[in-house]
Structure 1
Amino acid sequence: MVTKIELLIVLRKIAFGSECIAALTGVFFLFNYKIKGVLKWFSIFLIYIFINDIIGYNTRHWFPNSNNLIVYNISTTLTFLFLFFMYHQYIKEKTSKRFIKYFMVLYLVTLFISGFYENYLVQLQSIPFLLGAFLLMTSIIFYYAELLKSEQIQESTKDFLFWISVGLLIYYVGKMPFRIVRDYYANHNNFSTLFILNSIFTIIMNSCFIIGFLIHRKTVSDRYSR
């Protein structure tokens, strides 16, 4: 019978593999298909996340006495800022765009203030992460609300950003409870269930990214075949 630890190890490998496939797929489409605007940088962003996870995972193996949490704190900050910027660029409704600007500032201010009682060298972001995740999900809701009002609603599933948003929304909806209880359960023997769920959400998110790339390819191919 497979234990939770064995299942966790397998799922982590699959999650890491899904990151690799998503990143490589993004690079392929970056050079072969017309991904417009900020979305073309999304492919490069996926490469950064993949490389960051390689560094984060191997830091303790390379440097046994070191702590890898600063690596993840930096990537978390850059991730939120990039995604806020991406939605700000693609959302057209002025009120929503203004709110997303406020979200970016609020996240950075919270990150700065929390730095006085959270040591980002040895602790993961807690309140800044939870706030950033909530504000990002709100930004995604702005995007979907605008999409529902548009004339392109029937073509929404062909939109590259639609699938990115699906993946991000599922990931952060699952990630927020995980991060709330992570510090408590990390010190107990039954922590593996939470990390298993986190790996599953990571796999789902990257699968959505890959689907988005493939649908974008079909859309572009259909456009040029007409």
Structure 2
Amino acid sequence: MNKLIILIEFISAIIATLSFKKFESDFMKYFLAYLWITVFVELIGFSLLKSGNAWVYNIYTFFEFNLIGLIYLKLSQEKSTRNVVKLTFIIFNIIYFASFYYKDLQSYTVIIGSFIASVIFMLYLKEFLNSNKLLNYGKTLSFWVTVGLLVYYLGTIPFQTVLKDLLVRDLFNIQILLTFFAHCCFIIGLIWSQKETK
């Protein structure tokens, strides 16, 4: 199943790379970095599966959520949303770096990051719904990316909350389905959306 995840992540990164000129913007640069870093980390994590890969994902958490912050700083037009993004990611980074000193926090950084990211996705969707982009939402890449990320991160909050107590490995299929859904949204958006510039 890990190979399937890596494959869909790789496909969406390749399509995003090939579509870069179509969506050339600061948002697209950060989104492309997010996709390729995810593929790179998944490959390393998969190769270190037997010897222990938690440290790889702990480092990834920093890049993952900071790239999301940068993506939505570039997408958001409303000052209030931009201020929320800045404030919440300062808080996230304080918690992230504190987790190296207070080891118990490491179990919560992904949950906190997912919660913060989900709030930002909802704020952006509210902004999106109040804009002219709503008229053509299906052909707007930022809509597809936001929907994919929102479903993924909202879905992972309960999963990450019980992760350390998780005995039934079949529940990892939920994580796989969420990842698959998010990357399908990315791929649809990359293929179907119209050219955007910012």
TM-score by length of 1: 0.80
| 1:25–1:213 Cα contact (<8 Å) kept | yes
The unaligned stretches of length 5 or more in structure 2 are none
Q: How does 1:1-226 map to 2 (within 5 A)?
A: 9=1, 12-30=2-20, 32-60=21-49, 64=51, 67-118=52-103, 125-185=106-166, 188=167, 191-216=168-193, 219-220=194-195
| 1:15–1:200 Cα contact (<8 Å) kept | no
Distance 2:3 2:61 in 1: 21
Amino acid of the structure 2 residue aligned with 1:175? T
Alignment: residue pair count: 195
| 1:167–1:204 Cα contact (<8 Å) kept | yes
| Alpha-carbon shift at residue 60 of structure 1 (Å) | 4.3
Amino acid of the structure 1 residue aligned with 2:133? Q
CA distance 1:26–1:97, shift in 2 (3 Å): same
SS in 1 for 2:162: helix
Q: Answer with 1 or 2: which has the greater Rg.
A: 1
| Alpha-carbon shift at residue 44 of structure 1 (Å) | 3.2
| 2:30–2:67 Cα contact (<8 Å) kept | no
When the two chains are superposed, the root-mean-square deviation of aligned CA atoms in Å is 1.8
Distance 1:73 1:86 in 2: 21
| 1:178–1:198 Cα contact (<8 Å) kept | yes
Distance 2:125 2:109 in 1: 24
Distance 2:98 2:37 in 1: 27
| 1:27–1:43 Cα contact (<8 Å) kept | yes
Higher mean displacement: 43-52 or 139-148? 43-52
The unaligned stretches of length 5 or more in structure 1 are 1-8, 221-226
| 2:30–2:70 Cα contact (<8 Å) kept | no
SS in 2 for 1:152: helix
Distance 1:177 1:16 in 2: 23
| Alpha-carbon shift at residue 40 of structure 1 (Å) | 3.0
TM-score by length of 2: 0.91
| Alpha-carbon shift at residue 38 of structure 1 (Å) | 2.4
| Alpha-carbon shift at residue 15 of structure 1 (Å) | 1.9
- Once the two structures are superposed, what CA deviation does each residue of 1:171-218 show, in whole Å capped at 9, x if it has no partner? 111111111111011xx3xx22221111111111111110110013xx
| Alpha-carbon shift at residue 16 of structure 1 (Å) | 2.0
Distance 2:114 2:127 in 1: 20
| Alpha-carbon shift at residue 21 of structure 1 (Å) | 0.7
| Alpha-carbon shift at residue 34 of structure 1 (Å) | 3.8
SS in 1 for 2:92: helix
Query: Who is 1:223 aligned against?
Result: none
CA distance 1:113–1:19, shift in 2 (3 Å): same
| 1:27–1:44 Cα contact (<8 Å) kept | no
Provide the identity percentage.
Answer: 27
- Once the two structures are superposed, what CA deviation does each residue of 1:126-178 show, in whole Å capped at 9, x if it has no partner? 22211111111111111111111112211122111111111111111111111
